Amino acid sequence: MKTAPSDCVFAPGGWLRVGAALLAAALSLLLLSSCTSPPRSAPAVLKMDELPAPTFVPEDEIMPLAESRAKSSAGGFVFVNTTDELLPRYPAGTAFVAERQNYTDLRSGTLVILRRGLRRVARVLEQPTPKGWSTNTFDAMEEDAVLMKPNTYLGTVIQAFAPRPDDRQQ
């Protein structure tokens, strides 16, 4: 079977037609893939009873107790939550004692301390993704805009000391 010179890729303009066809195919795939994003799985159900229960103490005892507990833990440190993002379980002023664990041992529902820019924040791990862990606060219960990655993970909360409700109302 003979082909006309214009049908041959080596004919003048032949490579141009091949390139145009490949470009059209690539654009079609791009448009189709952007219109059909995979469905997002539902957020994990947060089980409050699996999180460390806060120990309610007078405000002036929070830091000494937390620091003492952190010193008794290998690599332990204290993080004080200053927001209401973790209500109703942890009020502002709660001191979290955390220690670093193996990143691969983390699981959904774990309360962690992570670096978010120049700040440290407490978040609940939602689900692992190819790019890191999606995280939640208690007030939003939607995926946080920041993924936790191995280089932003600081530690897992092992104990919490919170101000007594009587102390917070003053």
Query: How many residues appear in the chain?
Result: 170
Tokens 């220690």 correspond to: 99
Average pLDDT over residues 131-142: 77
pLDDT band at 86 (very low <50, low <70, confident <90, very high): confident
What whole-number distance in Å separates Cα of residue 160 and Cα of residue 97?
A: 6
Position 24, amino acid: A
The per-residue pLDDT for 84 is 85
| SS3 (DSSP) at 38 | coil
**Most confident of the following: 7-16, 49-58, 144-153:** 49-58
pLDDT at 105 over 80: yes
Write down all domains in the chain, each with its CATH number in brackets.
Answer: 5-35 (no CATH), 48-168 (2.10.109.10)
**Residues 26-72 pLDDT 10s:** 545 444 443 333 333 444 455 666 789 999 999 999 999 999 999 99
The per-residue pLDDT for 165 is 86
DSSP 108-169: TT-EEEEEETTEEEEEEEEEEETTEEEEE-TTT-S--SS-B-TTTEEEEEEEEEEE-HHHHT
Higher pLDDT, 137 or 162: 162
Q: Which pTM does this prediction carry?
A: 0.69
Average pLDDT over residues 98-110: 94
